[in-house]
Amino acid sequence: MNGLPAAGLRLDLYAVAGRRETLLATYTTNTDGRVDEPLLSGAGFKTGTYRLDFHAGDYLQTSDFLDVIPVQFIINNTERHYHVPLLLSAYGYSTYRGS
């Protein structure tokens, strides 16, 4: 929104299996707008469906539009690197599979 990394943005990571969702962890972004560790690593880095809930409303504080932004994605190859960036403004966002 300001052309700067979103420091202090809370995100929740869920494993999704059908209608069952399991909260795996909650993170807060650092001054670079990233989390300090991989969201999934070691034995926890498995194929499956996951969801990141970005708590944009809390972060933006002045937004009267966005609240929680869910981004559901699939990991189908544990040999690859997955990066899920979110570009955020008060009234919109975009995401893509980063490198």
Domain assignment of residue 43, yes or no: yes
Q: Does residue 85 fall inside a structural domain?
A: yes
Number of domains in the chain: 1
In a domain, 5, yes or no: no
Structural domain that includes position 80: 10-95
Q: Is the pTM of this model over 0.85?
A: yes
Q: Which residues of 60-77 are buried (b: 16+ CB within 10 A; e: fewer)?
A: beebeebeebeeeeeeee
In a domain, 2, yes or no: no
Residues 45-80: tens digit of each pLDDT: 999 999 999 999 999 987 789 999 999 999 999 999
Instruction: Report the CATH number at residue 66.
Output: 2.60.40.180
Q: Answer yes or no: is 3 within a domain.
A: no
- Does residue 87 fall inside a structural domain? yes
pLDDT tens-digit map of 19-53:
999 999 999 999 999 999 999 999 999 999 999 99
